[in-house]
Amino acid sequence: MSDVMVEVRGVHKSFGALEVLRGVDLEVRAGEVTVILGPSGSGKSTLLRTVNHLEKVDRGWISVDGDLIGYRSSRGKLHELKEKEVLRQRTRIGFVFQNFNLFPHLTVLDNLVEAPVSVLRRPRREAEATARRLLERVGLSDKAGAYPLQLSGGQQQRVAIARALAVEPKVLLFDEPTSALDPELVGEVLDVIKDLARAGTTMIVVTHEIGFAREVADTVVFMDGGAVVEQGPPAAVLDDPQHARTRAFLAKVL
């Protein structure tokens, strides 16, 4: 269980003159949950997006299960992966967005079947069987034929989680999965993520839900200004932070 699943080393990323990631290092072990906290604009989403190839890094490298992602500096040279390789790797990384991003014109079942059939070339029958199993797992067996906009936000996000699982990802990335939800719907989504954690799913979760971090995270990472300020077990980072910036942030969100 101590294999490194995601490794981020010296990652820099700028948008024009704005340096958003300033040398990020991170290690996520297989079967563990890493929660990333940090103020708005600190680079959390950009970091997740580089792991999923949605942004290219300028410097440094990232690997997922030993597969190198994006650019890597080797003897001063920058190497870029071929588009086909990027697609192949991206299918093994699940991404759950703040705003669900379901396909509105597809039923719930078809949202789950789409990637396994069209990207992984699974037979449709098999993909449907998997999809139904996953819907059961997130408590939405009865919604297979519904369209996303007929569901509550909490249900849509549970579908999005099931869809992310449908490609059997090596790691699941969550970018503020409950931030767009009405408060009474947050719990049902966090409960699904907790179940996945108990089942040993490797996850990186950006969230402001400190209680969730305390309960579920193996490691809490505090980011500020495009860098990791401190990281460690929840009890260390949340209850005994070593840096003034972490303390200031926690004082605002707790």
Strand runs (DSSP E) across the chain, as ranges?
4-15, 18-29, 33-37, 59-64, 67-69, 72-74, 77-79, 93-96, 171-175, 203-206, 219-224, 227-232
Report the residue closest to Mg ion, judged by CB: 45
Among ligand ADP, Mg ion, none, what binds residue 2 when CB lies within 5 to 8 Å by partner kind?
A: none
Cα 22 to Cα 124: distance, rounded to the nearest angstrom: 44
45 sits near ligand ADP (criterion: CB under 6 A): yes
With CB under 5 A as the contact rule, the residue among 34, 42, 45, 155 that binds Mg ion is 45
DSSP state letters, 127-172: HHHHHHHHHHHTT-GGGTTS-GGGS-HHHHHHHHHHHHHTT--SEE
Among Mg ion, ligand ADP, none, what binds residue 17 when CB lies within 5 to 8 Å by partner kind?
A: none
Which residue stretch of 12-20, 86-94, 152-160, 178-186 sits at the interface with ligand ADP (rule: CB under 6 A)?
Answer: 12-20
Among Mg ion, ligand ADP, none, what binds residue 34 when CB lies within 5 to 8 Å by partner kind?
A: none
Picking from 227, 22, 213, 216, the residue whose alpha carbon sits closest to that of residue 245 is 227
Q: Which residues inside 46-75 make contact with ligand ADP, applying CB under 6 A?
A: 46
Cα 225 to Cα 245: distance, rounded to the nearest angstrom: 10
Q: Of the two residues 45 and 130, which places its CB atom closer to ligand ADP in the complex?
A: 45
Q: Of the two residues 22 and 214, which places its CB atom closer to ligand ADP in the complex?
A: 22
Q: Of the two residues 42 and 157, which places its CB atom closer to ligand ADP in the complex?
A: 42
Binding positions for ligand ADP, rule: CB under 6 A: 15, 18, 20, 38, 40-46
